[in-house]
Amino acid sequence: MKYLFIAATIMWGAFFYTNAKAHSIEEAYKEEKQLIIQQQINDMTLDIITIILQNLPTILESIENDLLKEKEKRIPCWKRYPRELDCIPEMTPMANEGEKNH
C-alpha cells in the first residue's frame, strides 16, 4: 500500500508538472503569434506609408487642380484665361431696354 501511495504521488506530480509545462508552452506560443501579427501590421503600415509618400506629388497635384477648377468657377467668364467654349457669359438686360419694350 505504501508503494502504491508513493507511485500515485509521483504520477500525480508528473501530471501537474507536464500540465504546467504545456500551459507555459501554450502561453509562449500565443505571445510569439501576437508578436508575429504585430510585426506584420508594422510592415503593412510601413508599406502603406511608403506608397503614400511615393505618390504624394501626384496626390497634391490632383488636389491643386481640383481647387483651381473650383476657383475658376467663381471667376466671371469674361476674366477667364484661356476662355473655354462652354463659358457663356450671363446676359442681363440693360435698365433702358426693359423700359423701351413696354
Tell which wins on pLDDT, 18 or 60: 60
Query: Which of the listed ranges 23-27, 44-48, 94-98 does the model predict with the highest average pLDDT?
Result: 44-48
Type of residue found at 21? K
- Range of the structural domain that residue 65 is part of: 2-80
Tell which wins on pLDDT, 101 or 15: 15
Classify residue 42: in a domain, yes or no: yes
Q: State what percent of residues in the chain have pLDDT above 90.
A: 32
Classify residue 20: in a domain, yes or no: yes
Give the confidence band of 85 by pLDDT, cuts at 50, 70, 90: low
Classify residue 17: in a domain, yes or no: yes
pLDDT of 20 reads 65
